[in-house]
Amino acid sequence: MSWNSHSNVSIVRRFCLLGLFLLNSIAAHAEESSQAGVVPTHDVRSFGAAGDGKTDDTAAFQKALDAAAQAGGGTVLAPRGSYFFAGHLNVPNAVTLAGIWQSVPAHNGLRDRGLPKPTDDGTTFLVTEGAGSEEGPAFITLNTNSTLKGVVIYYPDQIADAAPQAYPWAVVMRGKNPAVLDVELLNPYNGIDATRNERHLIRNVHGQPLRRGVLVDAIYDIGRIENVHFNPWWSMKPGLFQWQMANGEAFIFGRSDWQYVTNTFCFGYKVGYKFIASRSGVCNGNFLGIGADDCHTALVVEQSAPFGLLVTNGEFVSFHGPDPTMIEVTETNKGTIRFVNCAFWGPCNQIAKIAGTGTVGFGDCTFTQWGGKEGTLPAIQAQSGTVLVRGCEFRQDRPQIQLGKEVRRAVIAENVFTGPERITNESTGNVQIGLNSSGS
């Protein structure tokens, strides 16, 4: 072997040794970093929680939560079990209260089908405090950077075939960045109070809140609600479900500065989505892929911000109640609401009833059924304000639009009508009607 060959082998060996040294150093550093960054986990059973569905576990849970807070934050784990609570819980800053579910579970119709009940699988919280009144502390209070995830919240004393008992909120969200993730709200009277916080996140929440699902108000930094579905999975028995249809409100929005709501759904409420004026103000935001089925009124706007509620790719169905109507904008509204690429169906009375001095617009929407039993009511009835209806399809041969005397401005253009154009215009304002296509 030549000198050059010996030299090359030596160089290669040196590089290999150097590489091995660097890999060992990186691995050691990673191990040290991992150990230094371990988030402590506290098992509630280590603090005395029984999880037998009978023993009051309130104190044990709170001890575990407080211990996590004293450690600077961490996770309190509730393993599989049914945990009975006669009291309420406070989740401190930077603490997560977690069950075993990695995705929101479902327990719809399980009693009748002989399948596992919510007390037979996973992590279930049995809530009993506060029966008979909406006042009082919520079952769980979340604070800054605290999270509730992977659990089922169940009220075992709630009645499945009668008007429900009132209870305080199941969850309230306070502070900055509180989160509710992968949670089943099986049958609370009131679900989630998402008021007076910043940047709340409600994601993957299913269930059947009976009176109110989610309340949003006093939000001055963007709130987010994603993949939240409220269905009558716990009970559709007439005594309870008829009460829910007459009183229930799934999503309620007061003051929120740019609320983002994506992929939400509700079935069987008096009002699906309700926008109100609270002491704090009104809502504006982006509502994408939202739906309401079999609600007396799918969406009600009592007041909205001037810069608007933007509803895109929505689906709305109403066919029960004293006056089944998809959209109602009341006389108090002064803001702007736009519906784009939305679909409306079901044998309702009307698609929209519009009042107030604000602006309501429909663009590229599909209207399938309306008119009431006699088929004489217009799809859209506007008493006042500004109305825009452009590029929409009216799929029944029935009256399409009625503009009242107090309508200030309107543009009705480029729509497709089934049958002849049937637009009644009583407005003395500036109304433009044209380029609409009629026929079978």
Where along the chain do its domains lie? 33-209, 248-440
**Which of 135, 240, 149 lies closest to 193, judged by CA?**
135
Per-residue model confidence (pLDDT) at position 40: 76
Per-residue model confidence (pLDDT) at position 119: 80
**Which of 326, 311, 198, 333 lies closest to 264, judged by CA?**
311
Per-residue model confidence (pLDDT) at position 5: 46
Q: How far is CA 110 from the centre of its chain?
A: 24
Alpha carbon distance 157, 153 (integer Å): 12
Backbone angle region of 271, left / alpha / beta, with phi > 0 → left and psi within -120 to 50 → alpha: beta
Alpha carbon distance 309, 288 (integer Å): 11
Contact present, 419 and 375 (Cβ < 8 Å): no
Per-residue model confidence (pLDDT) at position 392: 98
Alpha carbon distance 403, 407 (integer Å): 6
Evaluate whether the domain defined by 33-209 bears CATH number 2.160.20.10. Answer: yes
Q: What single letter denotes the amino acid at residue 258?
A: W
Per-residue model confidence (pLDDT) at position 115: 55
DSSP 156: T
**Which of 181, 137, 188 lies closest to 164, judged by CA?**
188
Q: What is the pLDDT along the chain (440 residues), one digit of tens a residue?
A: 444 444 454 544 554 444 444 445 434 443 333 344 556 799 999 999 999 999 999 999 999 999 999 999 999 999 999 999 999 999 999 999 999 999 999 887 654 555 567 888 899 999 999 999 999 999 999 999 999 999 999 999 998 999 999 999 999 999 999 999 999 999 999 999 999 999 999 999 999 999 999 999 999 999 999 999 999 999 999 999 999 999 999 999 999 999 999 999 999 999 999 999 999 999 999 999 999 999 999 999 999 999 999 999 999 999 999 999 999 999 999 999 999 999 999 999 999 999 999 999 999 999 999 999 999 999 999 999 999 999 999 999 999 999 999 999 999 999 999 999 999 999 999 999 999 999 87
Alpha carbon distance 119, 374 (integer Å): 49
Alpha carbon distance 225, 79 (integer Å): 27
Beta-carbon contacts of 141 under 8 Å, excluding residues fewer than 6 positions away, are 88, 89, 90, 91, 171, 172, 174
**Which of 196, 203, 202, 201 lies closest to 219, judged by CA?**
196
Alpha carbon distance 154, 126 (integer Å): 5
pTM: 0.90
Beta-carbon contacts of 219 under 8 Å, excluding residues fewer than 6 positions away, are 194, 195, 197, 198, 200, 255, 256, 257, 259
Per-residue model confidence (pLDDT) at position 216: 98
Q: How far is CA 249 from the centre of its chain?
A: 12
Contact present, 351 and 328 (Cβ < 8 Å): no
